[in-house]
A and B are shown apart, each in its own frame.
Chain A
Amino acid sequence: MVDYLIRRLLQTIPVILGVIAITFVLMYIIPGDPVVSMVGERYDEATIQRLREELHLDDPLWVQFFRYVGNVFRGDLGTSFYTRQPVMTEILNKFPKTLMLAGAAMVVAIFLGLSVGIVSSLRPRSLLDKGTMFLALVGISAPVFWVGLMLVLVVGVYLKWLPPTGFGGIEYLILPAITLGTRSAAYLARLTRASMLEVLNRNYIRTARMKGLPEWKVVLKHAFPNTLIPVITVIGTDFGSYLSGAVLTESIFGWPGIGRLALEAILKRDFPVIQGTVLFMAFVFIFANLIVDLLYGVVDPRIRTERRGNGNG
């Protein structure tokens, strides 16, 4: 297991280098001068030149690239052109908020998705099944900004049940979490239903029923755990994408997370922040995938055994 973990972590190094290289090249081939965003409209050329020198923007690209890579491995992601704050500080400041939102969205997705999927699978082709699967289809299809704005208007403005937007206690978290988690919930519901339907027809389930086990035990103990592999894959990748920032949800709800940080940086051509957030997102995705891989082993002992075999062999 430790061998496997080390191997996976080593595999991330070329991926990270690749991400840095691609972001770097993209940043420098697109037109536009980052200094323009810093100086306002009444600048003089001498100030522009001094700033370019201070930021090393006139250095050859490869010099800038290797300097950046060296700094990254020392834990320094540079300083924001715009706010003049260390990028790492800005990311670490935003990440807890994004983590909170992503966690809450995942709770919504897992709770709604799995429960609806299981219930639907128990009464296939019933009115309940058709109704919930139709809602799931709507959930998958509805654009995030539409769901968000509807929740703001209906729950926040007209019903006044919750603050429409903002950041603070749990009351501020509910609407963005529902907005962000709806699509995953809908997808999970359909996936869980399909997997459950397949598993419920297996022989071991029939055997369990013939043994006279109560239906809830058959479903939750024997059928449900066997549907988890695809479900974990979806949860893992969705969680990874939420952690790397949900730009639309964060913008609609005024949630100060990584997504808005990245968006603002792109609009202002704040190279160090763009590079820092992209790199951070790559880390998060790799880490989320690693967790998913490890969870496979927890859920399915066969995978664990197979890995051990590979590791020894």
Chain B
Amino acid sequence: MRKPGVLPVVALLFLLVGCGKEQSPDTLLLAYPADIRGFDPAVATDFRSGQIISLVYDNLVRFDRGTELVPNLARDWEISEDGRMYTFHLVTRARFHDGTPIKAQHAVYSFQRILDPTANSPQSWLFDRIEGAKIFMEGSASAVTGLVARDDSTLVITLEQPFAPFIQYLAMPSAAVVNPRQVAAINSIPAGSGPWRLQHWERDGELVFVRNREYWGQPPRLEGLRIRILSEPMTRSAEFEAGNLDILGITNMELNKWKSQAKWRDRIQTVNELSIYYIGMNCSRPPFNDVRVRRAMNLALDREKILKLLRSGSGLPASGPVPPVLLKGPAPEPYPYDPAKARRLLKEAGYGSGLKSRLWVAGDAEMFHVLEAFQSNWSAVGIEVELLRSDWNVFMTAIREGKPDLYYLSWFADYPDGENFLFPLFHTSESMRKRNRYSNPKVDRLIEKIQALSNGSQRDSLISVTNLIIHDEAPWVFLWHSQSNTVTQPWIKGYVPRLIFNAQRYTDIGKQF
């Protein structure tokens, strides 16, 4: 009698313990590359924690599909003529997950909690412009005078000075309204009211949510949401191909592979992200304190070619810091690839025989071949750049201390406003302490005006003007505004990628097999 082969036995064993498909018709299956820090909005400084917090909490307002703000816990609001006082009228049917009705006092508690000096929240910048906030943060007052619950459903916030982006701050993860009765374990158990409830969290393993059946707003279409933590991009791709993930974020390295497959090509959705990739140049010392050298750095790069060949064409060449979708006035053209002009500018600046510098870089391997292409472009005009690789922490500490002459970094919008690409990056108070030591009093004044003006054509025009000045002054090598690409399974219906990182709540996604 012939003995059975080993392979069928192994196959049978595998089939006995389970098959590879874990598809569930009522659960949305996703994967994130890293786990979150926790569910406490007060410490949600990272992108991923912010995304997850927006699933289980509500804010007064929130971001929708594009750049617009929509009501959330606040059904409507008024802003006073002088731009300092915000009056919010809250919905009365909203409940926390434990059934407690949400009142204006809860919003006061939540915002004050962030400002509380004993909480050491790194997000206090969101609320420190509220009247009385600074005294409260110093511990000299027991409450913030500008935060008042007029009644259970009316919240009044008064700012020290008019500050237009404030309303957008209120849509950020750290401005979520928390349930004071559940804050004891808030880092591991959400104290919110959002459309999803946490069912299970296996740190570095998975986050499992179920639909909040009592949700006062639009509840999710699906029963459950399972987010697995898979750090390897290849593993995530393999799981998607096996049908175990419903939506996959595609890395630039893999974009061409997915586009080349007819099965997936039409299922890829691309979004122009609110981002800027750049090389910061230390403007406080030679050689980059000379605008001619900075312009030469920009002119020497063949952005379009590098973008097309090394980043699968995923991005738009940048002319300045503000992404085109946030610019309502004229935008400059990106610096052209003009090595001859770059050489001329270098000669005028006294670097005719060339110069040497170091480019600090941190992060994943995806960008190293891109940076090597930059090296080659710069070398062609006499700028020899050495790459200095370090881990994220060392890198960020060095930038804070003003050590790097050059560094490669990106910035993604916290909220969809040109101001978010100007103040934190170019205002003297920020740039001189944390970034590339750029300081221009004219730019500072413009940014301060933009912050004080309410939305309108004058503000739009000032954003464009400031963007143009920064383009001309070239404190950065402006690279590109990135695009994100996602691919979905054929059974996924209603998925629309969002512009802002915490706008996606997965409530309108369904499955149809």
List A residues at the B interface (Cβ < 8 Å). 30-34, 36-45, 47, 50-51, 54, 82-85, 90, 93-94, 149, 152-153, 155-157, 159-167, 169-171, 174, 251-256, 260-261, 264, 267-269
Q: Are A269 and B393 in contact (CB under 8 A)?
A: yes
Binary CB contact string for chain B from 296 to 330 against chain A (1 if under 8 A, 0 otherwise):
00000000000000000000000000000000000
Q: Are B17 and A155 in contact (CB under 8 A)?
A: no
Q: Are A93 and B203 in contact (CB under 8 A)?
A: yes
B231 surroundings in chain A (CB, below 8 A): 251, 254, 260
How many angstroms between the C-alpha atoms of A40 and B206 in the bound complex? 24
How many angstroms between the C-alpha atoms of A37 and B206 in the bound complex? 22
Q: Say whether B239 faces chain A, with CB atoms less than 8 Å apart.
A: yes
How many angstroms between the C-alpha atoms of A182 and B440 in the bound complex? 61
Most buried by A among B21, B125, B241, B393: B393
Most buried by B among A37, A40, A85, A159: A40
A50 surroundings in chain B (CB, below 8 A): 117, 120
Binds A, one of B333-341, B394-402, B473-481: B394-402
B188 surroundings in chain A (CB, below 8 A): 85
Q: Are A36 and B17 in contact (CB under 8 A)?
A: no
Contacts A161-B11, A161-B14 hold; do A43 and B239 have CB atoms under 8 A apart?
no
* CB neighbors of A among B426-475 (8 A): 433-434
How many angstroms between the C-alpha atoms of A162 and B17 in the bound complex? 8
Q: How far is the CB of A269 from chain B (nearest CB, A)?
A: 4
How many angstroms between the C-alpha atoms of A50 and B119 in the bound complex? 10
Contacts A36-B397, A167-B206 hold; do A157 and B122 have CB atoms under 8 A apart?
no
List B residues at the A interface (Cβ < 8 Å). 11, 14-15, 17-22, 34-35, 37-38, 43, 45-46, 117, 120-125, 187-188, 202-206, 228-232, 234-235, 238-239, 241-242, 244, 391-394, 396-398, 400, 414, 424, 433-434
Q: How far is the CB of B20 from chain A (nearest CB, A)?
A: 4
Q: Are B45 and A40 in contact (CB under 8 A)?
A: yes
How many angstroms between the C-alpha atoms of A83 and B397 in the bound complex? 20
Q: Are A254 and B205 in contact (CB under 8 A)?
A: yes
Contacts A38-B122, A54-B120, A254-B229 hold; do A164 and B242 have CB atoms under 8 A apart?
yes
- The residue on B at minimum CB distance from A163 is B20
- The residue on A at minimum CB distance from B430 is A42
**Contact among A153, A164, A256, A264 for B244, CB-based, below 8 A:** A164
Contacts A84-B43, A84-B187, A163-B22 hold; do A152 and B122 have CB atoms under 8 A apart?
no
A33 surroundings in chain B (CB, below 8 A): 393, 397, 400
Contacts A38-B122, A54-B120, A152-B238 hold; do A163 and B18 have CB atoms under 8 A apart?
yes
B398 surroundings in chain A (CB, below 8 A): 31
B203 surroundings in chain A (CB, below 8 A): 83, 90, 93-94, 256
**Contact among B22, B46, B244, B397 for A32, CB-based, below 8 A:** B397
* Top 5 A-B residue pairs of the complex, sorted by shortest distance between their CB atoms: A40-B45, A171-B18, A256-B205, A161-B14, A160-B20
Contacts A163-B244, A252-B232 hold; do A34 and B17 have CB atoms under 8 A apart?
no
- The residue on B at minimum CB distance from A152 is B238
How many angstroms between the C-alpha atoms of A264 and B392 in the bound complex? 12
- The residue on B at minimum CB distance from A34 is B393
Q: How far is the CB of B13 from chain A (nearest CB, A)?
A: 9
- The residue on B at minimum CB distance from A93 is B203
Contacts A43-B122, A254-B228 hold; do A37 and B392 have CB atoms under 8 A apart?
yes
How many angstroms between the C-alpha atoms of A221 and B395 in the bound complex? 61
What are 6 sample pairs from A and B whose C-beta atoms fall under 8 A apart? A47-B120, A164-B239, A166-B22, A171-B18, A256-B203, A267-B392
How many angstroms between the C-alpha atoms of A161 and B205 in the bound complex? 22
Q: Are A256 and B20 in contact (CB under 8 A)?
A: no
Q: How far is the CB of A144 from chain B (nearest CB, A)?
A: 12
Contacts A34-B393, A254-B231 hold; do A161 and B15 have CB atoms under 8 A apart?
yes
A160 surroundings in chain B (CB, below 8 A): 19-21, 242
- The residue on A at minimum CB distance from B242 is A157
B15 surroundings in chain A (CB, below 8 A): 161
Contacts A31-B394, A33-B393 hold; do A165 and B424 have CB atoms under 8 A apart?
no
